[in-house]
Chains A and B, each alone.
Chain A
């Protein structure tokens, strides 16, 4: 049986889902405690996906991302990129939601 991920520190405060009906972000602890359910990413609109990616980025631990053949981006810059939908921002949103999709699948299977 798959195990639940061991999410630590500020990264535990990153929302894993967004419920547009209630305009509410859903967190890891709420999912494992059973107080909230997974809202599939596929049901979100473009704007809602962007909102989720930006909030995840804002809430997580600090970091600097480096494109091998490009610029370094601090966490705050990445948030701005996501909201402004720059090329890097779009790339980040795609990367993060792709990872999130895998993570939610893992959590769903482990619960």
Chain B
């Protein structure tokens, strides 16, 4: 079938004739009209009155060459039947109208060149190799030895995810599916505290390990405290050993910890902190909208984790996080979700905002660096063993 160029798009000849909107005079207008007059795209078909929506969908279907729809649970529906369903306003007819309008809205934006800004490029780690290649610092180790002992050269990311609370659960699930695997694929050993294990006693012993270079999680927070299961204080100003944070990058998805806890961990030796200065607020997903609003919030916040996993500096991770928020806001313009995404973006703190949150150049690596040694834990235990 012949194609014609309309604006920046290439459409099938008959498709270029199908109306895609209703003009100011109430007349149906096609892709060529919208491509010629950009302002015509500045309308939302959702605001049309019901009769106009039906008229638009009917005309579009009548101009379509013969077709048969296959609908799971319904069966095959011919073009004539689809038109009847629209005219009779059956459930299927209403669905067809909705689908047509959704598509027309998108098509108008594409024709007007007003697509939402592209999201930031967050690198996706490739599949994890069974035996990763030797990092620069450890190239001198014989391959056969590396093959056997490489796990002992790994650094760790420690995640404290509050999965037992109805509000934090959604973010915890998102993070476990999207953030943790990225760290694993980059070679990190992932330590996960969740459920009843997301408590201070479990955290402190693990966090002190020099292998732990990154600490992150979702949990309730206050200016001084980040909490886990049933409000157990995981990190609290004045109530932790500096060894738990020394040299580490810490990112907390929680309320208000940027006020006091963030600067405090930096004073105690952490290399960078990222988190929120005010209440982190999100919007629950609105069924029926094309976007999962809640997930947008988790996605924006986790941009920081993903960039750090990939070896970016804290400032680069900050910038990508800001870009992720900007992209998400543009996806849901003038909605409550846009309002609260803006709020959270403005409350986000990291070294990109102020040096009290650590070093802009802080970064992490999945592999130990000299002078740390792969069997350091055993070496540290030796004096006690000998004395015993």
Of the listed stretches B109-117, B149-157, B173-181, B195-203, name the one at the interface; the rest are far from the partner chain: B109-117
B339 touches A68 (CB 8 A): no
Which of A1-39 touch B at CB < 8 Å? 3-9, 11-12, 14, 16, 28-29, 32
A-B contact count (CB 8 A): 121
User: Which of B39-47, B358-366, B371-379 forms part of the interface with chain A?
Assistant: B39-47
Residue of A3, A28, A68, A94 near B167 (CB, 8 A) is A68
Most buried by A among B109, B114, B168, B220: B114
State in angstroms the CA–CA spacing of A103 and B334 once bound together: 8
Instruction: Give the size range of A's interface with the partner.
Output: 35 or more
Main secondary structure of the interface of A (DSSP, over half): mixed
Distance, CA A7 to CA B43, complexed state (A):
8
Whether the Cβ atoms of B336 and A65 lie closer than 8 Å is yes
**Is there a chain A Cβ closer than 8 Å to B342's Cβ?**
yes
Q: Are A66 and B282 in contact (CB under 8 A)?
A: yes
Contact, CB under 8 Å: B336 / A5: no
B10 interfacial contact with A, CB 8 Å: no
A65 to B280, CA, bound (A): 11
B330 in the interface (beta carbon within 8 A): yes
Binary flags per residue of A87-103, CB closer than 8 Å to B gives 1, else 0: 00001101110110011
Choice from A7, A28, A67, A102 contacting B281 with Cβ under 8 Å: A67
Is A75's beta carbon under 8 Å from chain B?
yes
A68 and B333 contacting across the interface, CB-CB below 8 Å: no
Known contacts A12-B47, A67-B279, A68-B254; A60/B334 CB under 8 A: yes
Given that A3-B114, A8-B105, A61-B286 are known contacts, is A69 also in contact with B220, CB under 8 Å in the complex? yes
A-side contacts of B253, CB under 8 Å: 68
Q: Told that A5-B333, A11-B333, A61-B335 touch, could you supply 12 new A-B pairs with CB distance under 8 A?
A: A3-B114, A6-B44, A6-B109, A16-B334, A60-B335, A65-B282, A66-B282, A68-B220, A70-B255, A70-B279, A91-B281, A95-B342
For this complex, 28 residue pairs linking A to B, each with C-beta atoms less than 8 Å apart, are A3-B114, A3-B115, A5-B334, A6-B44, A6-B333, A11-B333, A11-B334, A11-B335, A61-B336, A63-B336, A63-B337, A65-B284, A66-B282, A67-B281, A68-B168, A68-B221, A68-B279, A69-B220, A91-B343, A92-B339, A95-B281, A95-B342, A96-B339, A98-B342, A99-B329, A99-B338, A103-B333, A103-B338
